[in-house]
Amino acid sequence: MRIAVGQFAASPDWKDNLAACQELTAEAVRGGADLLVLPEGVLARFTEDRHRIREVAQPLDGPFVTELLAATAGSATTVVVGIHEPSEDGRVFNTLVALRDGELIARYRKIHLYDAFGDLESANVRPADEPPVVIDVAGTKVGLMTCYDVRFPELARLLVDAGAEVLALPAAWVRGPAKERHWEVMVTARALENTCWVAASGECGPRNIGSSLVVDPLGTVRTRLAAAPGLAWADAAPDATAAARRTLPVLVNRRFAVDPTVIPLGAPQ
């Protein structure tokens, strides 16, 4: 599987961000990407006015997804990108869409909300209570996760238990003390403990770190970007995954299963 991870600095205008996604998609298609991972929540840039997430949200049949679908028509490249989608309770879902050849092939609504480091994503975003989502890309199973999800190893393990050999991880990782280190450690840990690939895309710009990267099943960073917009490439060979799992058989050696029961947000433990 040929993987591309792309990043850009989101604008307040969704049309500018659509154009950036279209440009990166076209570049990924030209380069023969099987999978392109773009950042989380790209409809608009969000800074202090987090409530604006509600105002700019679009349904899955809205103009952003519809036009990006058109950009994938006639191509075998699967594009995974995050938007905000209206929900029935007045908040929005933080939703990943997977697009290929003009069709919406899957969606994943974020489960773990970023109520941390002084932020409160749940004030405007509704947490999903959905099972993990795994899609087929060029004969390889790809699991979908979003940003803060990477801090919860049980979700990655559930996706791998469902057959995922690659985890696609769009993000908008907020800057802060040691946050860059957290990002690389968490992405690498999810790859290493599950002997899988992680293709992680981070929005860049004044608020977020960028730092998109692809990590292989033995924890080696195969490609990465810094803080500037761009596209990075890596080839995730199935035989490399199989070899890593023979060398480091943690999935066979483990002694505990992961319980897929969803705990209500804020419930006491």
Residues taking part in catalysis: 40, 110, 147
Strand spans (E) along the chain: 2-7, 35-37, 78-86, 92-100, 103-109, 134-137, 140-144, 166-171, 197-202, 213-215, 221-224, 230-235
The dihedral formed by the CA atoms of 125, 82, 227 and 197, expressed in degrees to the nearest 10: 110
Query: By C-alpha distance, which of 51, 67, 52 is closest to 11?
Result: 52
Query: By C-alpha distance, which of 253, 138, 256, 113 is closest to 197?
Result: 138
Name the phi and psi angles at 266, rounded to 5: 85, 0
For residues 4 and 39, the answer to whether their CB atoms sit within 8 Å is no
Residue 154 burial (CB < 10 Å; 0-12/13-18/19+)? exposed
Name the phi and psi angles at 232, rounded to 5: -125, 155
Query: By C-alpha distance, which of 16, 171, 162, 161 is closest to 80?
Result: 171
CA–CA distance, 144 with 245 (Å, rounded to integer) = 21
Q: What is the DSSP letter of 71?
A: H
